Amino acid sequence: MTDDKKSRIPSIPEDRLDKKSINSLVGSSAEDKKAHAFIKGRVEIKNFQVRLPVGLWEELRQVSFDTGDSLNKLCIYAVEDLIKKRKRKEKSKNT
């Protein structure tokens, strides 16, 4: 093989190129794929910022590391648990 053939950059015909937008809504990271799964499942997500004292954040981060769960998932668990406890308390108060 000659040096000329080795250094040639192959050309791709226009009809073989992908016409999709480079800036598609679904990214390729695991986080993007999880977010897209929420969209496909028709689960609405609301974002808000949580401000935590540094010590509490460090403890949460350690729990996240120990369990393998994301900080977001741990916060969801905590909120769900709080809501369940409040519902049980309201139910017991009404009976």
Taken in order 39, 45, 47, 52, the sign of the CA dihedral is negative
pTM beyond 0.75: no
Give 66's pLDDT tier (boundaries 50, 70, 90): very high
Cβ atoms of 45 and 38 within 8 Å: the answer is yes
d(CA 90, CA 85): 9
d(CA 16, CA 40): 29
Give 14's pLDDT tier (boundaries 50, 70, 90): confident
Report residue 35 as tokens. Answer: 């977010």
Higher confidence at residue 26 or residue 84?
84
